Structure 1
Amino acid sequence: MARIKSDADVLPYKVVIPQPPPWLIVRRRIVDRLRRGVQGPLTVVTGPPGTGKTMAAISWATCGAAPGPIAWVTLQRGAERPEVFWPMVLSAFRRAGVAVSGDGDPVAALALHLTERAQPVVLVLDDLSLPADCEVNRDLGRLLRDTHAWLRLVVTARQDPPLPMRRYHLAQELTEVGVEQLAFSERETEQLLAQHKVSLSQASLRTLLARTEGWAAGLRLAAISLEGHPAPDEFVAHFAGDDNSVVAYLMEEVLDAEPEDRRRLLLATSVPERINAELATELAGPVAGRAFAAMVRDNAFAMRLDQGWYRFHPMFADALRLILRHEAPGHLAELDLRAASWFARTGDVHDAVWHAARAGAWPYAARLVVDHLEIGRLLGLRPDHVLGESLRAMPECAPQPEGAPEQAVVTAAMARAGGDEETCAAALDTASALIGRSPAAASPALRLAIGLVRLADPQPRDPDLSRNLTEVEGLLQETPAHSLDQHPEVEALVLAARGSLELRQGRLHEAVAALRAAIEPATRAGGECLYRQCLGQLALAEGLRGRPARACELAAQAEQLPEAGPAGRRGAASHLASAWVALQKVEPARAKQELARAHAAVRQCPDAVMAGLHALVGAQAKLLEGLPRQALEETRQVTQGPQWLRRRLLLLQSEAHALLGETAEARACAERAGDADDLRKPLALALAALSAGRPEEAVRAVHAVLAEPGLVPVDVRLDALLLDARLAYQGGDPSRGRRMLDRALRLGDREQALMPFARSKPWLQPLLRHDPYLVRPYLRFLARLRLTPESGEERLDATLYGRLSARELDVLQHLSKVMTTEEIAAQMYVSVNTVKTHLKSIYRKLAVTRRAEAVRRAKHLSLV
């Protein structure tokens, strides 16, 4: 070590605690952190210029919270030389009342003197900047090690000092105050602004904090500019790193001190939002790649992200880009294109598009979107606002020969997502015209993108929809699997479109299969609009094919998601499904609300099929309210729609006519429905026959439905069981009636389908109120319809089923004694067959099916 001669040349103000300036804001949270830190050997405060490192140390040093004397050194240029550094340190100790000899080795002298003290001494090294391999750094580390319990070192620096910080960190003897802690909070910012008599709205305050990231110098410069400003909120909206005062400060504090090659590297690497060594090489050449590590290490405005990535403080980056624009106006666009190309090669399409757009290379930006299958994000099928914002300023593509069809497709996608169907249609026409001039140049990715935009049409008016869908499905087969895995929204859209098409054409099983398959990729895509659309249409399809429980479950899931899609569009299918479910649960008020929302959605996006389904569900609501005439009026408003939907409407009209007693019209509507494979038709004919007073014909029709060997839809089976029960009771066969009613209740309870029972209430109510044994398993289900037995009405009127003969009463008496058929026959001196005949009659008259049930019913009626 060089021998220290004297400290006479040390400037006094460099070795005393600076006086706090009048504008100093004491930030208690940082002072407390430093107070805790000096209980240990090492405290490090790091951050870029202007973050308030020195002010934080002054605040702590002047608050009287130190564990001993404070020796303060404000370092200067050349402090890395021992003959400069140690005289300043020794002078600071002396001024703090710690007399240390300057002869010999200062480290040894300090260590010896400090270890003899009763209390520790705090040494503050403000603005420390030492090369890792310098002698002073090694000696400082030795001093810290040798005076472990007596010296408390506080360092402020732009970068981590070359001290053994990891060792102290592992020993939990290191306190760090970094950029995150030094950043101003909202309350501290308000205090700073108040010093300049500036008051901002809460929104502007947060904007200013976000722009500056709490950088103290940036906030102070903004506050100075805001003093007396007539429109402070407007100023904040435009305040950034390219503000003249900020640029001047950063040039003075940072750029002017950098060598020319480092300065060029800083300017070039400021172009992207994030930077790593490879991208730095792409932007500034091979030499830059080697210099990158030193740049990010030495520049405190370079903030580490992860995996080798860094970013500049946004205000520093803004200032660098402004300087770059002034010094090399055309170079910024060139660097943006280089960055776009590099990001595209590495698979980061978002950053590639952003840089291409900033360079004004719109055809290239659009081609990146199309080639990388990102069109679904622009359609709003996946949460992503960044890509759309990058392309927001893109001009429309004119249909000139030199135009880029990709640009037209991107315009169409953004217009569709924004609800501008006129612009979307014009852009699609432009794309088709450009492709028509050179069909061979249309890549599969371009044709797929056009097809996806067409499939996303909220108004399925395209007569070539089926052909377009088939073509898109074929193109998907040619798309690499890994690309589809990265873009589940594309698969979800195509499957949803297939399901929607099948639903509109009445192929409900196929619709359910496609929509079910769309749920998984829609979930992975994370787009709530597409997911809700799939759930809503699937719920509607399940309802139409007669699966109430499944429809209820799906509709409930859809209702949990936000209603609005892109541009505030609402899906009619979801609301129709919810209305249908509300009817099944006999919630007419809620059904009306959902029907009104569905009507609004259909008006917003006209759709003949959804309009027809709205009429169908609306008419069912009218029937539930007991208004068959209004139900007819509802269905007659539909003038167009597919044949299957018109058949459904005719069958509902048939039911309404039957309820009105217009039997001829009821039968005519059912016959006009036509489709012999639809089991709803024989049910409609049965209702018409019953209304016309031909119960035998009605019974034959209903039994034919129940005997159907194939899978009968739940709603059809439920209606058939209820109608069969009604016919059996009215026809004098209460045993069958009760069996059918029990089956209907079991099925309705399982599927939570209340509507058929609500509409059958006039004939069901007297039966169920007098049959507690039948009702008991379904009390909770029937209670919602007020169809449970009431007090005083539980006793069964025997005349409802038929009186028991004397011999039948005798058989009942023996049954109650748990006798077998043979024992009863022997006791009564009759044959076994005679007893069996009596038992059948008893079961029929008591509306039961088993011995034990007959005995219970007889006891309840006081017959035994």
Structure 2
Amino acid sequence: MALPALKPNQLRPPAEPAKALARPRLLQRLASSAEAGCFTLLQAPLGYGKSTLLGQFARTQSGRCAWLRLTPAENQPLSLLTHLHAALGLPADHRATADAEGLWSEIQRYLESAGEPLTLLLDDLQLLSSPSACQYLEQLLHFPPPALLLLAASEGPPRLPLAHLRRDARLTLIDAHELALDSEETRQLAAAREVHLSADAVYQLRAGSEGWISGVLFWLDAYREAATNGQPPTDLRPITGQAYAHARQFLEEERLRRLKPALLGFLERTSVVQVFDAALAGELDGGAEAGEAIRQLRRLDLFIEERAGQRGEYRYHPVLRNSLYQRLQQRDPQRLRQLHRQAANWLLEQRRFAEAIYQFGRARDLDAVLSIVDRHAFDLLREGQVNALVDFLGEVAGHAGSDSFTLAVTEASTIIVTNDVAQTCQCIRRLQGLLRRQGAPRHPQRVQQTIAFLRSRLAYLGGNLAHGLEVTGRALQRFPQHNAASSVLHFDRASCLAALGRLDEARGEAELALGELQGFGLSGFTNLPQLLLGQIELAQGRGEAAWQRFLAMDSQPQASTAGSFYALFPHLGKGLVLLQANQLEQARQCLDQAERVALDFPHCAALAWVFHHQACLYWAQGETRQARTRWDEVRRMASQYRLFTLYRQAGAWRARLAVREDDQEFLLGWLEEWHWCFRHYGEHLQPEEWLAYAWVQRHLGQHAKAGQILADLREQVQAQGNHRLLLDVLLLEAGLAQDRGAHAEALGSLEQALQLASRHALGQLLQYEGDDQLESLRQLLLPQTRAQLGLVEPAPPRERLNALFRRLLAGRETAASALIVPLSRRELDVLQRMARGQTNQQIADALFISLSTVKTHINHLFRKLDVVDRDGALRSARELDLLD
């Protein structure tokens, strides 16, 4: 049998792209997965940088590394084994036998005998489909050689059994969401391509591309072409259109022209809707095989995503959807309008009103749109598809019949979630104008309540919190009618109270609003008071209650409906709980999901709020540069959209960071803002602002003033059970005591902070300023220190402290101190020998200690690492980098 031709270009990684983007977080993820013995699979559509990332990883490896890019030819076992044999660097003359089983035997012997780690990277794994070829890789997955580290990239799921790997925790799957560029990476890639974008341009690019790397590169290329004479373009719409044109050509060349006509037609017809299930796809396609078509698209990984929810919905990436839509529009515009109308009628029958509005709007049937809004305004708000409503309200402006109380009240209801200050002011003027021109509406109290909650929302967003309480108090007394508008007034009141630190009153108002809204059936908007209640629970140290609340929100159908604004809040809430619990990587993932949802809606809706919490996370992770940049961006956005409550809250955190970094320029500007607020609002400032002001006064040497502020603040937060803020107060008290040389007093404040953090699982004890106190906190755990201070309460259990803080310390401490309660030298010796597989008796013999002493050390290890067995101890030790 003739030996298959060996193609050398399949045996090397792709060349590093010019000005490639470094992705250290993903590279670390690959390294950690490989070290843990997992099969690492990068699974995403084309253009997400899978091959580039694998190539970058290959170039970071110091040991043996083999690369194999698969082609359809490798479905012949002999071709696969020939190339694998060559990739591993085995002798070329051995391949002359042209014997598949002989090659496989030699490959297996080589892998089994490898003494050092050997990394094998497989690219384009989706092209391997024949069972006769797949069986060899299946053997490597089922019975992996000890030294083999296996990584692969695939478009769509490979034809390999992976369930057993998932069961055994030996599978790391990195999908399109993780490979997508975030905002900071988008900015870095633009800078590497010598394109300097404004913040708004970055967000528009991120939202339009959803982080698809190829789409971002096409956009940057179009931007460079438009930037004549070095002047940045002012209108980004032509650039986006040009980028879409480049992407359409790319998708046409690389994928669409290779599809069968029936499948391509299915793609085109279903591109008229933003999301679809099998029933809607069948309606548009006119056939009964929609389910099979969807399965084919998922196997091909053709930019189709299944959305979480109860309906089994799917969506296309916006770039693919735009390409398909343009194909159909250019070829048959009449058919396109017919499909929009067909989709609208089907959605209307399913009572999916916001989507039906969008489709009727695309079909240019505004009369049908107005009819839906007039009859189903309440249902529209429940669906939470805010963008569809805002777009619709813009389109019908000036249209006959659009000047009505119903539309004005509907617009007001969208403002509750968009937080658009300019639109709020405009809506108040419109309602007042309608009252003057048309007299009394059908429900006059409802209109007056609507105007009141718009004003109270303005007061809350603008930072005039005491005025917000006055507006809501007067309106609730003057218009006692119970309806959704009065419930929103209670929610606005709760928001102002919570911002002022009056947590108990805020909780009562928020619970009242939530109960009424649930009674009215508004199950979408209820996520807003749910989030507020969860934040209050976190502040009061009830993290488990907050977690259960956010889990329940996430399980609601409205929370997972595709395109729903309300889907943001469970992600944000879970991120805040995980941040407080020091599970920082999981918190990052939740906040990233919240950011993705926010990008689909106007910036002032939620993006700036998500960015604020991301900045807190960056600081907790020790990434202060990113935190500073993110808070500066929050303040820019908040100022642009007049969200001054957020502006001031982000400024307070930014000032605390500026104290840490001795950023005098920022502090001088912030102090001017603080004094302006104090002159206008008096004592009615946010507790975070008072705390930051105290930190700044200490920084400026005004210790007496800082101490007085802390005394007043401590009284307030203790009365409200605000344990999280009390913890920060105690840390600053400790700092002031240290400045006076009162070492015992400082340790006393730290002892209160330590007990508080342990009792309520407050992970921020060591996240921000408190990480400077780590050594003092460790000293507090020593029996002799506690005896000297006369502390009666026992020290918090060591395993509890390590469980709460070890993930945080692992990223910034040396191996010897990666625990708040470090391992002793003997415990480290025992741990190292456990990692080598020694039994208890072998450890005792090697260290010349008794078997019972070894067991004692191992029990101490288990407690400090918060594990129950050897496997758990070794996993934790690797995570904390405690092993040689």
Into which bin does the TM-score normalised by the smaller protein fall?
A: 0.3 to 0.5
Point out the structure with the larger helix share. Answer: 2
Q: Which has the higher contact order (CA 8 A, sep 6+)?
A: 2
Q: Tell me the TM-score normalized by structure 1.
A: 0.47
